[in-house]
Amino acid sequence: MDSNQKISIANELRSYINQLRGLKGDYIGAVDRGKAIIGRRISMEGGPFDTEQQFNEFILGDLVQSAPDLLRHYAKYALTDDHGIVFTLADISPRNILVEEGHVTKILD
């Protein structure tokens, strides 16, 4: 693909992701209140979580137990609970994007 085609595909992807993120939710987890799956190589499951605070507590309690104390301290203050809950894809990467004739035709998850 030439530069213009790549830019066009990037713009299409931005539009699709913005549309997906426009879908608001009331919990953190999979569709139909399934568990949230975090990570690819070392996968952790939990929830669903009704609030971002519950999600953050899960991350701090279950996911970073083996982290050094100093890192846990900074992680605690880096995680906030004032974000909106929106639909997102956890694994958006080139291998999950189908392009035909210079246009995005499918995004897989």
Any residues with CB less than 8 A from the CB of 15 and at least 6 apart, and which?
none
Digit-coded pLDDT (tens) for 21-34: 999 999 999 889 99
Asked whether residue 104 carries a pLDDT value surpassing 70, the answer given is yes
Asked whether residue 76 carries a pLDDT value surpassing 90, the answer given is no
Residue 62's pLDDT is 64
Digit-coded pLDDT (tens) for 28-56: 998 899 999 887 766 788 999 999 999 98
Average pLDDT value over all residues in the chain: 88
Which residue is associated with the tokens 């301290």? 73
Residue in 48, 8, 57, 13 with CA at minimum distance from that of residue 29:
48
pTM to 2 decimal places: 0.73
Query: What would the mean pLDDT of 60-80 be, rounded to a whole number?
Result: 77
